A and B are shown apart, each in its own frame.
Chain A
Amino acid sequence: MSDHAQQSISDIELLHSIARGDELALASLYDRYSSILLGLLLRILHNRPEAEDVLQEVFLQVWRRAADFDEARGRGFTWLVTLTRSRAIDRLRALGSRERATTAAMREAPEEIGDAGDDVLRSEQAEVVRRALAEIPEEQRRALMLAYYEGLTQSEIAAKLNQPLGTVKTRMRSGLIKLRELLSEQMKSARTWI
């Protein structure tokens, strides 16, 4: 497992090059991940102009702050996703309760798992994750999604679902453990495709 296959060597190299001011590297990273990240942003914000605005902000930050990326601390993709999600949740809060109320129904409605059917841009990796998610018990998945996509804390989720805090904590933890297990199982079968 030398230095990190998974971290996609090229992601690391791209981020290092970006830190040195290489615009082409930023372009490659953008082309590689902007669609996934915009999907994530839309899922969180339910507002196309806001999502695009945050996406631009995220890549501007990647450009400015790629030197902060430390490959010893995680994968490039994880850095990018964590940054994107955190910017999106900040924006969601900044938008305030009025917008949140109007989009609440929409946030509730789309089922947790993206519709892979008409998503021509989906990657095989997305497929793997979606298959795994589909196997997680509904209530656990819901807790994961409320935290990850709506930026709710455990207590807020408990209030929203009208469930005891301990139950929500257990569901979230079990859900994530299950996701981890399923991903590793999926990878075993994926192995034959390589």
Chain B
Amino acid sequence: MKHEEYIDLLTADALGALDAIERRELEAHLASCAECRAEADVWREVAATLAYAAPSVAPPAALRERLFEQIKTQPPISRAEAVTKTEADSENSALPKPTNVVALDAEREKRRGGVLVGKPLLLVGSLAASIAIAALAITLAMAWAQNKELQAQLARATGNTRQTEQDLRQTEQELAALRAERDLLAAPASRTVTLAGTEVAAAAQARLIYDQQTGRAVLVAANLPPVPAGKAYQLWFIADDKPLPGGLFTTDASGHAELRETIPPAGRRAQLFAITLEPQSGSPAPTSSIYLKGAVS
């Protein structure tokens, strides 16, 4: 089966509608395809929202009591123990096996430093933008719900007000960051430039999304050649044939990279964007051949 056909299986899988054979085939493919794994996670998040379609029903208090009686005799199993138990393995298979946008977010702190090593938030490819937007939307949905919930908790709280306020602040900060990303994707002045690899990096692809007004930008790249020690990729904004230096980044083991930065005003007028390989401290002007380039359409 081809990659594209597996993509079609992902939605059915998220709904639990694959038969055993299809499921095995998909799992084998997922083991080797990070793009599909990431997409599988988005679909699983979407499918899980179907739980809300059923009206909530409060369980009887006795059920809660029984549960808390029962757990007294059964301590949690640690991860290490779990892998040694066959019972654990069979139970485990019932659990979701996703990786998802969540993992990518964990890389944020690294990205903020300017030099990026990490998995891509956006995937390069035909699905990239829609996946990213959906992932952000779901993320936002949950942040929003969490915020609401925290507000309610705050209203109720008497003893642990401080902790709740902290949680709320944190959630609000995260929500603001999420909105900023979503806004970038949705901004009217938002431009998307596709960068294609040159002969020195024929398989490489990248996409730059930036807001012409604010200069906020996200670059995602895939299939970049590995970065030699002491080197980093550098983004260039070429306006009137003059290259202006942009941010530096490196890739993860699979050649994925992501860069997030603010393009200076002069760079926002660029007609061409390019990526070169430079010393890791960056160069004021390009010193290598161009690895990827793309023109504003």
* A contacts, CB < 8 Å to B: 1-10, 18-21, 23, 26-27, 30, 32, 34-40, 42-43, 52, 55-56, 59-61, 63-68, 71-75, 77-79, 81-87, 89-90, 112-116, 119, 121-126, 128-130, 133, 144-145, 147-149, 151-155, 157, 169, 172-173, 176-177, 179-181, 183-184, 186-187, 190-191, 194
15 cross-chain CB contacts under 8 A: A1-B174, A1-B178, A6-B139, A6-B178, A27-B68, A34-B64, A63-B71, A68-B79, A73-B96, A73-B103, A77-B142, A85-B16, A121-B58, A128-B52, A152-B17
Complex alpha-carbon distance, A61 and B78, angstroms:
12
Interface bits B12-56 vs A (CB < 8 Å: 1, else 0): 101111110000000000000000000001111111111111111
Q: Which residues of A contact B144 (CB under 8 A)?
A: 125, 187, 190-191, 194
Q: Are A5 and B143 in contact (CB under 8 A)?
A: yes
In angstroms, Cα B260 to Cα A152, docked, is 43
In the complex, whether B280 has a CB less than 8 A from a CB of chain A is: no
- The residue among B45, B58, B148 with the most chain A CB atoms within 10 A of its own CB is B45
B283 is an interface residue with CB less than 8 A from chain A:
no
B53 touches A130 (CB 8 A): yes
On chain A, the residues within 8 Å of B82 by CB distance are 65, 67-68
Contact of B143 among A6, A38, A65, A85 (CB under 8 A): A6
Pick the 4 closest A-B CB pairs, nearest first: A6-B142, A184-B137, A5-B174, A43-B54
- Which residues of the other chain, A, contact B235 by a CB distance below 8 angstroms? none
With a cutoff of 8 Å between Cβ atoms, the chain A residues found around residue B47 in the complex are 148, 176
Q: Please give the residue numbers on chain B whose beta carbons come within 8 Å of chain A beta carbons, in ascending order.
A: 8, 11-12, 14-19, 41-60, 63-64, 66-68, 70-71, 74-79, 82, 88, 91-92, 94-103, 105-106, 108-109, 121, 133-134, 136-150, 167, 170-171, 174-175, 177-179, 181
B12 cross-chain contacts in A, Cβ below 8 A: 147, 154, 169, 172-173
A181 to B121 alpha-carbon distance, docked (Å): 19
A64-B77, A152-B17 are known contacts; what are 18 more A-B pairs with Cβ within 8 Å?
Answer: A1-B178, A4-B102, A7-B102, A35-B57, A40-B54, A56-B66, A60-B67, A64-B75, A67-B77, A74-B44, A82-B48, A119-B55, A126-B56, A129-B49, A153-B18, A154-B19, A157-B17, A180-B43
In the assembled complex, how far is the CB of residue B271 from the closest CB belonging to chain A, in whole angstroms?
Answer: 31
Q: Are B15 and A90 in contact, CB atoms less than 8 angstroms apart?
A: no
Say yes or no: B49 contacts A179, CB within 8 Å. Answer: yes
Given contacts A60-B67, A63-B71, contact A147 B76 (CB under 8 A): no
A123 and B54 CA atoms in complex are apart in Å by 12
Judge whether B17 and A39 touch: CB under 8 Å. no
Please indicate the chain B residues that have their CB under 8 angstroms from the CB of A183 in the complex.
Answer: 46, 49, 134, 137-138, 141
In the complex, are the beta carbons of B171 and A5 less than 8 A apart? Answer: yes
Tell me which residues across on chain A come within 8 A of B8, comparing CB atoms: 169, 173
In contact, A74 and B70 (Cβ under 8 angstroms): no
Residue of A nearest to B96 (CB): A82
Q: Kindly provide the distance from the CB of B218 to the nearest chain A CB, expressed in whole angstroms.
A: 11
Of B99, B142, B171, the contact of A75 (CB 8 Å cutoff): B142
Instruction: Give the complex CA separation of A110 and B142 in angstroms.
Output: 27
With A72-B99, A112-B53: A2-B177 Cβ-Cβ less than 8 Å = yes
Is the Cβ of A153 less than 8 Å from the Cβ of B19? yes
Which residue of chain A has the shortest Cβ distance to B112 in the bound complex? A2
Check A73 against B97 for contact (C-beta < 8 Å): yes
A169–B134 alpha-carbon span in the complex (Å): 21
Q: Is the CB of B43 within 8 A of A1?
A: no
CB pair A129–B50 under 8 Å, yes or no, is yes
CB distance from B239 to the nearest CB of A (A): 30
Known contacts: A148-B15, A154-B12, A191-B179. The answer to whether A129 contacts B64 by CB under 8 A is no
A32 to chain B, nearest CB (A): 8
In the complex, chain B residues whose CB is within 8 Å of the CB of A2: 105, 108-109, 174, 177
Q: Which residues of A contact B98 (CB under 8 A)?
A: 73-74, 78
A36 with B106: in contact, given A9-B171, A63-B71, A176-B47 (CB under 8 Å)?
no
User: Are A74 and B142 within 8 A (Cβ)?
Assistant: no
Among the interface residues B18, B67, B147, which one has the most CB atoms of the partner chain A within 10 A? B67
